[in-house]
Amino acid sequence: MDCPRWLPLESNPEFVNCLGMKPTWQFGDVYGLDPELLSMVPRPVCAVLLLFPVTEKYEAFKQEEEEKLKGQQQVSPDIYFIKQTIGNACGTIGLIHAVANNQSHLEFESDSPLKKFIEQTVKMTPEERATFLEKDESIRVTHESSAQEGQSEAPSLDEKVNLHFIAFVNVGGQLYELDGRKPFPVVHGKTSEDTFLEDAVEVCKIFMARDPQEVRFTIIALSKDSY
């Protein structure tokens, strides 16, 4: 059976507001990885999204990593992780990962579809959450309207998009990479609220070094609004 497909989503920050998250925290681009440019990102940062190209090198690495890490990691039971079963939904999955693992920081409107989805799925397995998302019309409709409002012309449903969103979060003082295409979260070691952005960026640099010919990388930080 074919998996359901959504329109590909650009890094459209309005999307999160449409899902009922109050703008006390905002997504913003990280314009460079050197200390001076990182210092311009408002703090604190509670999540980082990385948009990167899925290449043959990356797919080979992903397979090796999965075999190496299977059963070797201690993953906090507090981590909210959802599998991706919907084509082109990685932007929404990344957003759910960023928000669901930072609920103590974030504020929501009373009718927020995102908050409702997280509350309804909190006790489910990652696979059950994925099935539940397939049936969640309010998130799908918001995703697709945001995809059509992106900065460039949205590709069609069937067009193969080789860019992928993943999220980095700090749960219990550990830096986690959350990717719905992977079978489990990946632990990248210790972090703290103060060093989280720099620690996440160090992992992003490894993604970039793996494909040095590629330029299609975007890093987005979820920061407390400084205004």
Q: Which residues are catalytic?
A: 90, 164
Q: In terms of Cα–Cα distance, which of 194, 166, 190 is closest to 58?
A: 166
In angstroms, the CA 204 to CA 151 distance is: 24
Q: In terms of Cα–Cα distance, which of 70, 54, 13 is closest to 166?
A: 54
The single-letter DSSP state of residue 87 is B
Rounded alpha-carbon distances, angstroms, from residue 135 to 14, 112, 131, 138:
23, 17, 7, 9
Strands (DSSP E) contained in 121-217 are: 163-171, 174-178, 186-190
Amino acid identity of residue 3, one-letter, is C
Q: In terms of Cα–Cα distance, which of 59, 54, 83 is closest to 185?
A: 83
Residue 145 near residue 139, CB atoms below 8 Å: no
Rounded alpha-carbon distances, angstroms, from residue 143 to 4, 19, 84, 148:
14, 9, 15, 9
